[in-house]
Amino acid sequence: MSRQNEQKRVTVPAIKARKGNDPIVSLTAYSANSARIADPYCDFLLVGDSVGMVVHGFETTLPVTVDMMILHGQAVMRGSKHALVVVDMPFGSYEKSPEQAFSNASRILSETGCGAVKIEGGAEMAKTVHFLARRGIPVMGHVGLMPQSVNNFGGFKTQGLHQSDWPRIEGDASAIAEAGAFAIVLEGVVEPLAAKITRDLFIPTIGIGASNQCDGQILVMEDMLGFGAFVPKFVRRYGNLEEQMAEAIKHYASDVKTRSFPAEKETYSKPEE
């Protein structure tokens, strides 16, 4: 394909420039099909390490590997052409040193073609964010409820319920912004704190369970489409695809049992002449 005909994706600077403007729309995507469907409506698609829980059935995101993220990142890149694609760096792939983070992030960027990585963590990750950002790897931060630290938090707990915790969370967010992140996810953060961080930071905040005061929103696609029995407070269900899927599969099973599927029109009945 010539450069002239290349479809232009949303860029990292374009997302950064949306600070305080038109709200940024994003969803998670793990497959080519879901990426294709969400792509026209989203500014960025996140290949979240939530793939471990949503697709692979793990209890937490901790078992997810770089290879898994690359495989899903490649699928999402193939399925999309408009949205910026951001791929999560999984637990254990960046915490040891900025060099370890660079080696895994550069693999993710070069093997998937995605535009940025996301890493969880506050002030302790600032040096790593700076190291990556200065070496051509755009980084989205993620503070507040950080699912990779579920064992430290003692569960998936809302952050900022005690005002005494606010300075730490605000400090984490500003350290990551100062280090060079182009945007930051605020997860499970009470509204007044999310509003304060959004006001104070010069980069966009992307909320999930962090109120409409953020510069943008993200949801796990399967949550908003109606998969799974548990509906967190911050999720709005825009569909009930689990029920529709079960109904379709039940119908198929019944048609197979009664031999009404496949019918004549779904059958190659004549030998080729």
The CB-of-50 to ligand KIV minimum distance in angstroms stands at 3
Q: How far apart are CB 14 and ligand KIV at their closest, in Å?
A: 19
Q: Confirm whether residue 106 is marked as ligand binding.
A: no
> Which of 43, 187 has the CB closer to ligand KIV?
187
Residues that bind ligand KIV in the complex, under the rule CB under 6 A: 28, 46, 48-50, 88, 142, 185, 187, 208, 218, 220
User: Least distance (Å) from ligand KIV to the CB of residue 250?
Assistant: 30
C-beta closer to ligand KIV: residue 207 or 258: 207
Residue 216: CB minimum distance to ligand KIV, A: 11
157 is in an annotated binding site: no
Whole-number minimum distance, CB 228 to ligand KIV, in Å?
13
Q: What is the 3-state secondary structure (H, E, C) of the chain?
A: CCHHHCCCCCCHHHHHCCCCCCCEEEEECCCHHHHHHHHHHCCEEEECCCHHHHCCCCCCCCCCCHHHHHHHHHHHHHHCCCCEEEEECCCCCCCCCHHHHHHHHHHHHHHHCCCEEECCECHHHHHHHHHHHCCCCCEEEEEECCHHHHHHHCCCCCECCCHHHHHHHHHHHHHHHHHCCCEEEEECECHHHHHHHHHHCCCCEEEECCCCCCCEEEECHHHHHCCCCCCCCCCCCCCCHHHHHHHHHHHHHHHHHCCCCCCHHHCCCCCCC
Return the residue nearest ligand KIV (CB atom).
48
Please say which residue, 48 or 121, places its beta carbon nearer to ligand KIV. 48
Q: Quick one: tokens of 21?
A: 């403007």
Whether 6 is catalytic is no
How far, rounded to the nearest angstrom, does the alpha carbon of residue 23 sit from its chain's CA centroid?
17
Catalytic residue among 6, 59, 99, 187: 187
Nearest to ligand KIV of 53, 126 (CB atom): 53
Establish whether 88 is an annotated binding residue: yes
User: Is residue 172 annotated as involved in ligand binding?
Assistant: no
**Residue partners of 77: CB distance under 8 A and separation at least 6:** 35, 85, 112, 113, 114
Half-sphere exposure of 193 (CA within 13 A, CB side): 27
The annotation status of 43 as a binding-site residue, yes or no, is: no
Nearer to ligand KIV, 54 or 193 (CB): 54
Query: Annotated binding residues for 3-methyl-2-oxobutanoate, as ranges?
Result: 49-50, 88, 118
Query: Annotated binding residues for Mg(2+), as ranges?
Result: 49, 88, 120
Task: Give the residue numbers annotated as catalytic, written as ranges.
Answer: 187
